[in-house]
Amino acid sequence: MERNFKVYIYPDGDPKTFYQTPRKLTGKYASEGYFFQNIRESRFRTDDPDQAHLFFVPISPHKMRGKNCCVVVASLCED
């Protein structure tokens, strides 16, 4: 399965909710940054959602504080 596994990453959206990779990955949110950076550079990434086994929405939990995550994800499903 590993040979065929594909991940589709939704494009970045609103900078207020979606993760934006900083120039330096430091501080308490560095692990979030490393995860997002690694998945974007992964050999499993595909640009074709029809080939994907997993769908990744690059939402930053830190930036989502106080916001309704369901509204952000629902807007992606409507596209």
Residue 66 CA to residue 79 CA, distance in Å, equals: 24
- Close Cβ partners of 21 (under 8 Å, ≥ 6 residues apart): 33, 36, 37, 40
Q: How many CB atoms lie within 10 A of CB 63?
A: 16
pTM assigned to the model: 0.66
pLDDT in tens for each of the 79 residues of the chain?
678 899 998 876 655 555 555 556 677 777 777 888 888 889 999 999 999 999 988 776 666 666 666 666 676 666 5
Please give the helix or strand (H or E) that residue 73 lies within, else none: helix 69-78
